[in-house]
């Protein structure tokens, strides 16, 4: 195992001579792509060892690709981890797991303390998956952590790896605009994600994820930040044609997407204005603002947070009855 990974990388000629041994050059063909061409390369699937640890890595990968099937007790929408962490957490510029794994423990302003990698994963379930956070040490988190650890094989810790997260995006030439965003959406996004943004399925399974509505991420998720969404979109959307939208178009369409109805922020205090002040007090969040005559986050028009399917919740350990 130890030797297998570098051998594979060498065999494909991806190791860059000299400098940091973990850097490799990818085949990013789109010259306009904002993703750095030189970045860490995770080991291939074929390098997953046939050991108990390897089994855990595979379980993690299954969860990552099909959380609604393999982690149903914690998932409240129809998204998959791999909808945003493209190529199942491998793709540079799409928040790859190898970049995240080596960046923890880290202080996060989102909750004001140092988070372990596992705690960071809890946040994904609570916000992006609009579900329930597994308890620390839960097998679901152990599997996902094992998968991320495997992908980060050979990467240095404490280094901001090129290709980690989403590529930084300059401010838009003119202020981002909802109406222009709607136009960008109709022309570039709607054929896959649907005019209504609710995604599309085939054979009973979601193919194109919902960008808003009850089956999408909730108001607490990172993708609800216009800045994050614009960075992701510019680097990765339309799928396979990353870098084809302009900086302005990316900001406009991100503004459009993040001005739609989506599930409630699970940190909702009971008051939209207070929740905005406490958790969304910045220009990148539309929460609590009025769009098309409605206040985003208003419970009257906002699907609930933390919904998990009845079947999944009844399969979870029964809560202790107090009466």
By the criterion CB under 8 A, which residues form the site for other proteins?
12, 14, 24, 26-30, 33, 35, 41-42, 45-46, 48, 58, 62, 86-88, 90-92, 96, 191-192, 200-205, 207-208, 238-242
Strand-pair category, 106-108 with 113-115 = antiparallel
Cβ proximity to other proteins: between 157 and 191 the closer is 191
Cβ proximity to other proteins: between 87 and 157 the closer is 87
Cβ proximity to other proteins: between 37 and 295 the closer is 37
Cβ proximity to other proteins: between 91 and 305 the closer is 91
> From the CB of 91, what's the least distance to other proteins, in Å?
5
CA dist 259 and 283 (Å) reads: 12
Burial code (b: 16+ CB inside 10 Å, e: under 16) for 134-154 equals: beeebebbbbbbbbbbbbbbe
Cβ proximity to other proteins: between 100 and 133 the closer is 100
Cβ proximity to other proteins: between 249 and 255 the closer is 249
Cβ proximity to other proteins: between 84 and 261 the closer is 84
> From the CB of 206, what's the least distance to other proteins, in Å?
9
> From the CB of 257, what's the least distance to other proteins, in Å?
18
CB 126 within 8 A of CB 132: yes
CA dist 128 and 79 (Å) reads: 8
* Residue 164: closest CA among 235, 87, 91, 99: 99
* Residue 77: closest CA among 201, 257, 222, 213: 213
CB 278 within 8 A of CB 111: no
* Residue 152: closest CA among 91, 101, 107: 101
Cβ proximity to other proteins: between 27 and 109 the closer is 27
Cβ proximity to other proteins: between 28 and 280 the closer is 28
Q: Which residue has the tokens 């930084």?
A: 168
> From the CB of 46, what's the least distance to other proteins, in Å?
5
Helix (H) or strand (E) holding 228: helix 226-236
CA dist 301 and 149 (Å) reads: 40
Structure tokens, 238? 């339309």
CA dist 39 and 45 (Å) reads: 18
Helix (H) or strand (E) holding 55: helix 52-65
> From the CB of 149, what's the least distance to other proteins, in Å?
17
Q: Chain centroid to CA 57: how far? A: 19
> From the CB of 241, what's the least distance to other proteins, in Å?
6
> From the CB of 302, what's the least distance to other proteins, in Å?
28
CA dist 127 and 110 (Å) reads: 12
């Amino acid at each position: 195992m130890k030797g297998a990974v570098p051998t594979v990388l060498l065999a494909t000629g991806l190791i860059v001579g000299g400098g940091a041994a973990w850097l490799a050059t990818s085949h990013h063909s789109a010259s306009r792509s904002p993703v750095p061409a030189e970045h860490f390369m995770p080991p291939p699937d074929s390098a997953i060892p046939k050991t108990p640890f390897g089994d855990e890595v595979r379980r993690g990968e299954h969860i990552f690709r099909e959380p609604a099937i393999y982690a149903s007790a914690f998932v409240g929408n129809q998204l998959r981890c791999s909808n945003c962490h493209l190529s199942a957490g491998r793709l540079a510029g799409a928040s790859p797991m190898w970049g995240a794994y080596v960046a923890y423990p880290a202080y996060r302003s989102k909750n004001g303390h140092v988070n372990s990698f596992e705690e960071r994963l809890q946040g994904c379930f609570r916000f992006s998956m609009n579900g329930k956070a597994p308890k620390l040490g839960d097998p679901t988190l152990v599997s996902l952590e094992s998968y991320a650890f495997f992908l980060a094989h050979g990467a240095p810790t404490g280094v901001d790896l090129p290709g980690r997260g989403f590529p930084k995006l300059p401010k838009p030439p003119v202020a981002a605009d909802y109406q222009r965003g709607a136009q960008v959406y109709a022309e570039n996004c709607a054929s896959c994600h649907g005019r209504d943004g609710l995604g599309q399925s085939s054979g009973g399974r979601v193919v194109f994820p919902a960008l808003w509505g009850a089956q999408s991420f909730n108001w607490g998720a990172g993708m609800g930040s216009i800045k994050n969404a614009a960075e992701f979109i510019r680097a990765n959307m339309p799928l396979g044609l990353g870098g084809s939208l302009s900086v302005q178009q990316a900001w406009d369409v991100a503004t459009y997407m993040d001005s739609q109805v989506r599930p409630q922020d699970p940190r909702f205090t009971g008051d939209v204005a207070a929740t905005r002040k406490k958790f969304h007090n910045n220009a990148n969040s539309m929460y609590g603002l009025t769009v098309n005559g409605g206040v985003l986050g208003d419970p009257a028009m906002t699907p609930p947070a933390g919904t998990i399917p009845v079947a999944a919740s009844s399969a979870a350990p029964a809560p202790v009855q107090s009466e």
